[in-house]
Structure 1
Amino acid sequence: MTKDEMDKVATFAASRGKLISLAYRMLGSRAEAEDVVQDAWLRWHLADASTVRTPAAWLTTITVRLAIDRLRHLRMERQSRAAGWLPEPWLDGIAPSAEDEALRASAMSYGLLLLLERLTPDERAAFVLHEAFDCGYADIAQMIGKSVANCRQIVHRAKTRLRREGDGHRTGDRSKPAVDPSAHAQVVERLRAAIEAQDRAQLLRLFTEDAVVLSDAEEVGTGAAIASARWVDPVSSSVHAAEAVTINGAASVALLSADGAIAGLVDVVCAHDGRIARLHVVTSVGHLRAVNDAWGARAVACLLKRIARTEPVTC
């Protein structure tokens, strides 16, 4: 490998965490984000680096444009599905990678990530760049090929739509969550305990009267009784254990099967009265594959082997 090639690899590696985080926010899928960033790497590998004044900005621009193109295709595919579609959760690790660190630095709640699906690709790109990555309108304009004034209007329009279609709290204000994080964690723990104990009465008490359960396996269910009967009862009866986890920076619940695999991830949105206003339930095998590879029973078994042996173990 030549020095120029090594410099290219090092430059890309330094930006990869941010690029993955950006693409994930744009696409709502870790697998799609990794594909887009891989495409960006191929373009960077073939580019004449001597003509690129700011490699990090060049890579960000390419990633944004690739993500916009990919999102336009994915929107049609997702809308055609009979069952619902939910973003892929990002399960936080104990020892975060560069990608996890970048994701936390540009944190958006899972609920907001779901609302972003309602924006056009250009709106989503401009909103994510401005709100999550603190990009100025001039930089956004260059990345998405719009005028500065147009980008300013796009972000304003996106904020208005999200606020109007959101769940009652200031969607665009990252500094003011709907419920205090510690209170949210307490509600999540009560949900986890009730699911594990299969305590239907307690589960019903946790929901607001107009609670909504949104799953990638079925359509929306509204109302505390419906939420319990259509989702909580069947799921809790088949769950071997429920564990507290952190998804996209917020306390959530992982549902475990008898063999220790993660069978579902539950994101919780709380109302101001401390009850559950909305659940996002992800059970898609595709969405859970990366999570299980990192945190499921097989991953834990591999980790224990590595700890027990001095030599590396290939799992």
Structure 2
Amino acid sequence: MDQRQSLADCFEENRRDLLGLSYRMLGSREEAEDAVQETWLRLDRADTAAVRNLPGWLRTVTSRVCLDMLRSRHGGREECWSGDLAPTTVAPDDGNPEHEALEAESVGLALLVVLNTLSPAERVAFILHDMFGVPFDEIGGILDRSEATAKKLASRARHKVRAPRERHRVEMDEYREVVAAFQVAARTGDTGIIAAHLAPDVVRRADAAALPPGRPLKAHGATAVAGEISRFGGAARHAEPALIDGQVGLLVAPGGWLRLAICFSIENGLVREYELVADPARLMRLCIRLLPER
């Protein structure tokens, strides 16, 4: 077997893992595939005779490719990035084995949304260490930073991603249950079932970007709001729970790119008020974190 064929075989053996890594880094399966293809091109051009750990080399190269792609999204600025909230097209499931591998490696839309609020260096450090167990000295080399800096980047990212464990535990659990019940009810499309989870004087608010033209920005009463949800409740049906400004809410984030946040006010186990937020400027001001484990 010649050297090039041996490299190709090793690359194919590691392709799935590289795709999973790239997808976590980039949040887009198309970009993940581009990153892995670039890794193959670099492998094909490289002198790997002295490389003792080729899978590790591939992971390092893929990480650097993803880091460059993340930096290019916002002109190379790292420290004040708030995430690109622009809509993206979600490719349909076409049965492609590589696409299926990426879906299998998915870490959840809520996490992808949170990752999109991190700087490129924070994101790379967090994913490599917390998800793949890569040591900090290796991460520092990938980022061209010291080991101590890599640790700080991962710690800062971890703080942004994870919810405080001690805050409002009882209230948070109540919100989680009510929001989950609301979402289940919305999926039924049955106004009676939906209304049972709403306070009689419930209010639905929305910004103009969240609604089609002609729909009112405010709706009152369980009957009217339940009827609206039954007709236009696709957002709630396809959303994923997350912490939004410290309270449990729902996110609509195709491909991990935040398009809509649903923020709730809950009282006595019922939805008293909820708001649809889709204006990009408002979305960028929201503090979004993962729900803590029960």
TM-score (normalised: structure 1)? 0.56
Seen in structure 2, the aligned counterparts of structure 1 residues 146 and 186 have a Cα distance that, compared at 3 Å, is same
Point out the structure with max Rg over C-alpha. Answer: 2
Q: Deviations over 1:3-55 (max 9, x none)?
A: 22221111111111111111111111111111111111101111123122211
CA distance in 2, matches of 1:178, 1:76: 41
Equivalent AA in structure 1 for residue 138 of structure 2: D
Equivalent AA in structure 2 for residue 278 of structure 1: L
* TM-superposed deviation, 1:109: 2.6
Report what 2:40 is aligned to: 41
Report what 2:251 is aligned to: 279
Report what 2:239 is aligned to: 267
Equivalent AA in structure 2 for residue 3 of structure 1: D
Report what 1:19 is aligned to: 18
CA distance in 1, matches of 2:196, 2:90: 25
CA distance in 2, matches of 1:210, 1:137: 49
What is the SS of the residue equivalent to 1:278? strand
CA distance in 1, matches of 2:18, 2:132: 11
Q: Deviations over 1:140-170 (max 9, x none)?
A: 122222211111111111112234xx6x769
* TM-superposed deviation, 1:192: 2.1
Report what 1:142 is aligned to: 141
8 Å CA contact 2:241–2:250 kept in 1: the answer is yes
8 Å CA contact 1:213–1:278 kept in 2: the answer is no
Q: CA RMSD in A?
A: 5.1
CA distance in 1, matches of 2:254, 2:102: 23
Report what 1:205 is aligned to: 197
CA distance in 2, matches of 1:212, 1:123: 35
Q: Work out which structure has the larger RCO, using CA pairs closer than 8 Å and 6 or more positions apart in sequence.
A: 2
8 Å CA contact 2:60–2:142 kept in 1: the answer is yes
8 Å CA contact 1:68–1:125 kept in 2: the answer is yes
Q: What count of residue pairs does the alignment treat as equivalent?
A: 233
1:123 has 2:122 as partner: yes
CA distance in 2, matches of 1:109, 1:14: 25
Is 30-39 or 44-53 further displaced after alignment?
44-53
8 Å CA contact 2:182–2:194 kept in 1: the answer is no
CA distance in 2, matches of 1:178, 1:70: 38
CA distance in 1, matches of 2:59, 2:205: 36
| 1:165-244 correspondence runs (5 A) | 188-194=183-189, 197=190, 199=191, 202=194, 205=197, 233=228, 236-237=231-232
Equivalent AA in structure 1 for residue 250 of structure 2: R
Q: Deviations over 1:164-208 (max 9, x none)?
A: xx6x769xxxxxx989x99998765433222xx5x397179379x
CA distance in 1, matches of 2:67, 2:205: 30
Report what 2:86 is aligned to: 85
Q: Percent same amino acid at aligned positions?
A: 26
Seen in structure 2, the aligned counterparts of structure 1 residues 26 and 113 have a Cα distance that, compared at 3 Å, is same
Equivalent AA in structure 2 for residue 32 of structure 1: E
8 Å CA contact 1:270–1:278 kept in 2: the answer is yes
Seen in structure 2, the aligned counterparts of structure 1 residues 213 and 108 have a Cα distance that, compared at 3 Å, is farther
Equivalent AA in structure 2 for residue 280 of structure 1: V
CA distance in 1, matches of 2:240, 2:156: 27
Seen in structure 2, the aligned counterparts of structure 1 residues 211 and 237 have a Cα distance that, compared at 3 Å, is closer
8 Å CA contact 2:242–2:249 kept in 1: the answer is yes
Equivalent AA in structure 2 for residue 191 of structure 1: A
* TM-superposed deviation, 1:117: 1.2
Equivalent AA in structure 2 for residue 140 of structure 1: I
CA distance in 2, matches of 1:188, 1:161: 26
1:156 has 2:155 as partner: yes
Report what 1:133 is aligned to: 132
Seen in structure 2, the aligned counterparts of structure 1 residues 270 and 64 have a Cα distance that, compared at 3 Å, is closer
| 1:57-68 correspondence runs (5 A) | 57-68=56-67
Equivalent AA in structure 1 for residue 17 of structure 2: K
CA distance in 2, matches of 1:75, 1:206: 42
Q: Deviations over 1:237-294 (max 9, x none)?
A: 597xx9xxxxxxxxx95xxxxxxxxxxxx232067xxx9711315399xxxxxxxxxx
